[in-house]
């Protein structure tokens, strides 16, 4: 495997036959690097799992004539206002929304919908700057927070969405899409914390979830069609309201937060391999291969109890616990972590459990989290 990276490889190194380091926000630089890596004339393809470079990668693929979600489709998915507008035009269920450019406009929109509402940036990622606001003063504060939010090189300053708040649990559905044919692979339950913010603190995938609810399946397929997403692995987020499912967003990429890893552990299907096969122009086979599905897989992210600088995170007491399938430290020594909403995704570690059912993964992860040893230096407020 070869890779185009923004910096020299670290964890990726053992998996790479070759690589190039370029500015990954520059489509022409990506295209040139891919061409150079493919100089031997083998069959090439390109895909990314990184939201920050999704549009640049799509443009590079277009320039090279390689299979990929189109630039137009990627842009529609990245722009939450465009997604909402196209869904509404097609008569598909999604939240009521208004695009606002001032706290006064946001307050008027909230009054129209009735509080609580959700206030969010138009084009960021990772739930950065997304807030549930309970009243007018909360809406105004949420607008200022969302307007000041930033995530890497993603665009800001394009307006703030105010949306009706939808009651009900939130799920994600990951699908494999080839030549417009959408095949769902798993449904994940999303764990959210740090209210009134929407920090994703974990996910759960169950192999024996059964068939996808027909209403959800129709919504997912229709959203792909309306947004013109016809190639790749996608990650849709759906709220299950008392009035039926509502699309929150459709991401034209692999799910984040190691969701492909827990999906493979639970279902046996390798979504990363599927994405690579699609990038090579092949219809992916979704069999489980030689790996037996594990039943239920859950990932939990460990957060500090307060703002801090990390001295050390030690998982040695966690590794080897029955049912713990994977652990990783996410904050090396010297990392400065600020809790939401001050810092995006301030995580100490990730813990993955595989078991027969959700109750068992919960028990395993509760014990594992207790055994995480974190040496943290508190930061003054």
Q: What is the largest CA-CA distance in the chain?
A: 61
User: For residue range 254-291, what is the model confidence (pLDDT) as tens digits?
Assistant: 999 999 999 999 988 999 999 999 999 999 988 654 44
What whole-number distance in Å separates Cα of residue 357 and Cα of residue 298?
10
Which pLDDT band holds residue 176 (cuts at 50, 70, 90)? very high
Ranges of H-type helices in the chain: 27-37, 54-64, 71-78, 80-89, 103-113, 136-148, 214-227, 259-267, 271-279, 358-370
330: pLDDT strictly greater than 70: yes
Total residues belonging to the chain? 381
Tell which residue, 85, 87, 115, 89, has the closest CA to residue 98.
Answer: 85
User: For residue range 316-328, what is the model confidence (pLDDT) as tens digits?
Assistant: 999 999 999 999 9
Per-residue model confidence (pLDDT) at position 44? 78
Per-residue model confidence (pLDDT) at position 364? 98
Average confidence (pLDDT) over 68-87: 94
Locate tokens 């989290």: which residue?
Answer: 369
Which pLDDT band holds residue 295 (cuts at 50, 70, 90)? confident
Is the pLDDT higher at 195 or at 150? 195
Is the pLDDT higher at 153 or at 174? 174
From 226-235, 282-291, 318-327, 363-372, the region with the lowest mean pLDDT: 282-291
What whole-number distance in Å separates Cα of residue 166 and Cα of residue 246?
8
Per-residue model confidence (pLDDT) at position 290? 44
Average confidence (pLDDT) over 223-235: 96
Q: Do residues 253 and 233 make contact, with C-beta atoms less than 8 angstroms apart?
A: yes
Q: Do residues 197 and 340 make contact, with C-beta atoms less than 8 angstroms apart?
A: yes
304: pLDDT strictly greater than 80: yes
Token couple for 268: 């046996």
């Amino acid at each position: 495997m070869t890779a185009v990276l923004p910096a020299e490889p670290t964890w990726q190194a053992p998996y790479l036959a070759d690589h190039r380091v370029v500015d990954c926000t520059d489509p022409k630089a990506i295209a040139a690097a891919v061409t150079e890596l493919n100089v031997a004339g083998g069959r090439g393809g390109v895909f990314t799992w990184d939201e920050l470079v999704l549009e640049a990668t799509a443009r590079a693929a277009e320039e090279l004539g390689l299979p990929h979600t189109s630039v137009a489709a990627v842009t529609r998915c990245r722009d939450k206002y465009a997604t909402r507008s196209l869904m509404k035009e097609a008569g598909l269920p999604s939240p009521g929304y208004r695009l606002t450019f001032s706290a006064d406009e946001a307050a008027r929109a909230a009054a129209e919908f009735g509080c609580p509402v959700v206030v969010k940036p138009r084009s960021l990622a990772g739930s950065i700057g997304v807030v549930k606001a309970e009243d007018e003063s909360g809406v105004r504060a949420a607008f200022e927070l969302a307007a000041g939010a930033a995530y890497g090189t993603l665009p800001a300053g394009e307006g703030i969405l105010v949306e009706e708040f939808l009651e009900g649990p939130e799920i994600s559905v990951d699908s494999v899409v080839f030549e417009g044919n959408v095949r769902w692979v798993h449904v994940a339950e999303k764990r959210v914390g740090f209210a009134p913010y929407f920090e994703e603190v974990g996910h759960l995938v169950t192999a024996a979830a059964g068939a996808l609810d027909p209403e959800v399946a129709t919504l997912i397929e229709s959203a792909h069609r309306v947004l013109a997403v016809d190639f790749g692995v996608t990650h849709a987020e759906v709220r299950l309201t008392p009035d039926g499912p509502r699309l929150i967003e459709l991401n034209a990429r692999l799910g984040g937060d190691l969701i492909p890893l827990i999906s493979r552990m639970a279902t046996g299907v390798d979504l990363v391999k599927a994405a690579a096969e699609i990038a090579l122009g092949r219809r992916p086979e979704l069999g489980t291969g030689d790996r037996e599905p594990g039943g239920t897989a859950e990932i939990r992210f460990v957060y500090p109890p307060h703002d801090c600088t990390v001295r050390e995170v030690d998982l040695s007491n966690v590794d080897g616990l029955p049912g713990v399938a994977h652990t990783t430290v996410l904050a090396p020594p010297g990392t400065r972590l600020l809790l939401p909403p001050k810092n995006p995704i301030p995580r100490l570690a990730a813990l993955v459990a595989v078991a027969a059912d959700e109750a068992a993964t919960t028990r395993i992860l509760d014990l594992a989290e207790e055994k995480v040893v974190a040496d943290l230096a508190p930061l003054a407020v």
